[in-house]
Structure 1
Amino acid sequence: MQIDETSVEPEGGLMPLLAAAEMQDHLMTVNNDLERLQRLLDDACEALSTHFFGASGLVEQMRARLPEARDQDALQQLMLHLAGAITALQFQDMSTQLIAHTSQRLRNCSDQLARDTFGDDEDGMAVVETAPLRPNPVTQDEMDAGSIELF
């Protein structure tokens, strides 16, 4: 079998260098998109947290000023709704873990592809980021209201 200069022979067969380079570029693009998604989630979580604590503080001030039981009941219901909203903050934590896990897997695939396709360079052996040991960092796939510990 003759191999031309645009191909390499990895363990499973022949892969064109151009295809390997394009695949690596796609993996890195997806990884960059995940990092951008993480920044967006962080900003949204920060805004949610700020507004939640602001609203909660105002409700507590109103409860202290309103002596009537019916107003207290309404404010208590409002606090329950706000407490339910804070559950959404759990989404950010789970999302962060999943994004980091997926990003690490993508980086590992990209590094392995580059090493197997292009080999080591003049600086020495190609570094391959370690793949995550666990298949999934988050086993929970839904969020329910309940006890929540904040930061």
Structure 2
Amino acid sequence: MYLPRIFHSLNLSTEERYRAELLELNEKTKDFGLVLTPQDIELMMAARTQVLNSYGRVELNIEVTKGIIELFSSSSFIEQESYADTLNELYEIFHYFKNETEDRVSDRQLLHKMKELFEEDCEGALELLKSRLEEYVENFRSELTQNESLDEGEDDQWNLKI
């Protein structure tokens, strides 16, 4: 009977801890002229929930959000005025492509690929980043299909030898 209240209070304390962790990152990002306000973080947490719900995903921690902040805050293409919005968009892009790769690409690998493309190829253009990641996912799927075909061929050869 009190379980919903208990779970709600646990969730609130987790959310508060996440907010504090994100605020602490300002110590690293302020060197790049980028700082999140408590209001920015509130909006980010709401956007995070929306993205996770829309993609049917669950996160047990805030590491992806922290990873995006830590990786992208050094970019010369991100400015304070659009910092929180850009982070939210990057977070949404990340989860879209996690779904597109069926979680076969690690979080770290995808984040680093996003950063590489964002900096070198896209020069901070988020729509171009999405397009380049589509190409990356297509190549990834093609390689995956090819590797699976090779694996099946090996299985067939094994079966023939027996």
TM-score (norm 2): 0.25
Higher relative contact order (CA 8 A, sep 6+): 1
Tell me which protein shows more helix as a share of its residues.
Answer: 2
